[in-house]
Amino acid sequence: MKQPIKNWVIATRPWSFPASTMPVILTMSYLFFKQEHVFHEINWWFGIIALIGVVFVHAAGNLISDYFDYKNNIDRKESFGSSRMLVEGVFKPKTILSFGFVLLTIGILIGLILTLFTGTDLLWIGLIGVLGTYFYYVFKSIALGDLLIFIIYGPLIGMGTAFVMTGELYWEVILLNVPVAMLVVNILHANNTRDIKHDAMANIKTQAMVLGIKGSKIQYVILALGSYVVLILMNAIGMVHPLTLLTLLTVPVALKNIRVMMRADIEKPEVIKDLDAMSAQLVMMFSLLFSVLNFIAKVL
């Protein structure tokens, strides 16, 4: 049955894209701020192309993850996760998987083209990203999903972006993207905390299940507030302009999310059913404000 474009878009879960696009945008803003200290000419077009490639790979990862979660009975009608396109019978599983492979192939081709113009270091960065995208469902089921997401949706994407734009491995962007990665992990962690009861029925073990409801709340708080601690640290060592401390204006949003997380209850998952989306909004607000302040700091 032919599907409207809207359903194809929803299937990719576009509301999750801040997790992958914000590290790219933040890295671009930082290179703009530090451009006098970059040894090679900065190619802004390659940064934009990298942004597009990252979105394709991220969308592919969402589709492939939804396919395996559905096939492994992790996503069901009574659960809250996924795009709902499979559990509601809108798409057939094979269609979602094929769609994911098509988008992943496009993302890989974009990466290979960038490799031709930049260097082979992009190959290992891209390989980690692609393998992590495809096998995320495996890592999630053995309580390593949070760690994988932290590595990819922050330091790795930032490193790849800096490399295609400068032709060099710009190690500073690893620390630069740690706060974003911490907030991105909270998107996943909020989702997994909400789904502890349902995931237990699927015979998997997420980090939220290992930590339990109390430990999960503690992790959420540490990651949410820790992102601001790292921002302050970057200022303390002179890595970023003091103006970026205005990113602390988003702290009230983080505290609001923490208050919601503190109400989490295994038997009442609906209490935090929107916390993953709220956490994604914080990622966007924090990263965009941080990025804008980098640009402003340069022109002042």
> Using one digit for the tens of pLDDT, what is the confidence trace for 135-191?
998 898 899 999 999 999 999 999 999 999 999 888 999 999 999 999 999 999 999
Average pLDDT of the residues in 45-70: 94
> Using one digit for the tens of pLDDT, what is the confidence trace for 83-98?
778 888 888 999 999 9
Please report the domains of the chain, with CATH numbers, ordered by start residue.
5-293 (1.10.600)
> Using one digit for the tens of pLDDT, what is the confidence trace for 203-230?
888 999 999 999 999 999 999 999 999 9
Cβ within 8 Å of residue 65, ≥6 positions away: 136, 137, 140
Cα gap 129→157, rounded to integer Å: 8
Cα gap 16→58, rounded to integer Å: 9
Is 202's pLDDT higher than 90? Answer: no
Global confidence as pTM: 0.92
Residue 78 is predicted with a pLDDT of: 63
Residue 241 is predicted with a pLDDT of: 96
> Using one digit for the tens of pLDDT, what is the confidence trace for 7-21?
899 899 998 899 999
Residue 4 is predicted with a pLDDT of: 86
Residue 52 is predicted with a pLDDT of: 97
Cβ within 8 Å of residue 136, ≥6 positions away: 61, 64, 65, 145, 148, 149
User: Could you tell me the sign of the dihedral formed by the alpha carbons of 85, 135, 98, 73, in that order?
Assistant: negative
In angstroms, what CA-CA distances link 261 with 39, 138, 180, 293?
A: 45, 26, 19, 29
**Which residue type occupies 162?**
A
3-state secondary structure of 89: coil
Cα gap 110→81, rounded to integer Å: 29
Which pair of structure tokens corresponds to residue 210?
């290992």
Confidence of residue 267 (pLDDT cuts 50, 70, 90): confident
Residue 44 is predicted with a pLDDT of: 95
With a pLDDT cut of 90, the percent of the chain lying above it is 72
Q: Mean pLDDT score of the chain, rounded to an integer?
A: 92
